[in-house]
Amino acid sequence: MSDTTTLAQSPDDTAKTSYHYKTGNQGVALDIKDFNLWYGETQALFDTTFPIQKGLVTALIGPSGCGKSTLLRSLNRMNDLVDGLRISGKIEVDGFDIYGKGVDVIALRKRMGMVFQKPNPFAMSIYDNVTYPLRVDGVTKKSILDDTVERCLRSAALWDEAKDRLHDSALGMSGGQQQRLCIARGIASDPEVLLMDEPCSALDPIATAKIENLISQLAGTYTIVIVTHSMTQAARVSHNTGFMYLGRLIEYGATETIFTNPKVPRTNDYVTGRFG
């Protein structure tokens, strides 16, 4: 029997999620409960239930098209603008459902900074990029803006490289610097959660290592959810890992267990490279 046939016939696909995640000491940041999502007639997420632990790094892994980005974008309602989108279930933050009636989506997104695959600095100075979220909120006091720039660039491990060129265009920075700038901008509005969608996929190994170090430094202060195609990256930076397959969360557990002793055969097949 070929591997493909074995995989296709595995009973794991519809089985309940296997859980063995780490709990931090700060509680739950996002509680996802029986979450389903449809793009038009096509269901992309099925009965997804798991608690994202505050202050920890959670990696979402799985083969292309399994729903990782869809799930990530659901956490700050980035999918809202997609035509024909429908959901059921709940995603709770501090006990309130982010899809509930009367939720202020703009305020919600401020609590969830987002970093994309490709660095997307705005065509303005480094300083203006970092202060953008504050200026949108009407903050004009120079001392507050200056302090924010220094604090956020330091947190994003970019201060030393940027402090003498704060008023130069952000577009003149390297790709790795631009991505750290986007992280600095992402934390300027003091979010609780940072959502990262393959943040290193456009970067070289040195820039990738810097972002990975940064993720480890930011954990604790922030809850981080990262979608990655790199299993070594997930293993290096995350505390918990969710393995997704065909829109289902197959296993959600402590990262070292997922990569060394997963509980579900399909997770094992994926992390050992039998498919992907």
Enumerate binding residues for ligand ATP (CB under 6 A).
Answer: 39, 44, 62, 64-70, 82
Quote the least distance from Cβ 101 to ligand ATP, whole Å: 24
Cα 115 from chain centroid (whole Å): 8
Judged by beta carbon, residue 23 or residue 117, the one nearer ligand ATP is 117
Quote the least distance from Cβ 64 to ligand ATP, whole Å: 3
Quote the least distance from Cβ 225 to ligand ATP, whole Å: 13
Cα–Cα dist 244/216, whole Å: 23
How many other C-beta atoms are found inside a 10 Å radius of the C-beta of residue 237?
23
Judged by beta carbon, residue 44 or residue 57, the one nearer ligand ATP is 44
Judged by beta carbon, residue 1 or residue 81, the one nearer ligand ATP is 81
Among candidates 24, 27, 11, 71, which has minimal Cα distance to 45? 71
Quote the least distance from Cβ 45 to ligand ATP, whole Å: 8
Count of all residues that appear for the chain in the document: 276
Quote the least distance from Cβ 243 to ligand ATP, whole Å: 11
Judged by beta carbon, residue 197 or residue 212, the one nearer ligand ATP is 197
Four-residue CA torsion sign, 166, 168, 169, 172? negative
Cα 156 from chain centroid (whole Å): 16
Decide: 166 and 149 in contact? Cβ < 8 Å: yes
Quote the least distance from Cβ 88 to ligand ATP, whole Å: 16
With b meaning 16 or more CB within 10 Å and e meaning fewer, what string describes 6-15? ebeebebeee
Judged by beta carbon, residue 25 or residue 42, the one nearer ligand ATP is 42
Judged by beta carbon, residue 44 or residue 250, the one nearer ligand ATP is 44
Structure tokens at 4: 């493909």
Cα–Cα dist 100/88, whole Å: 11
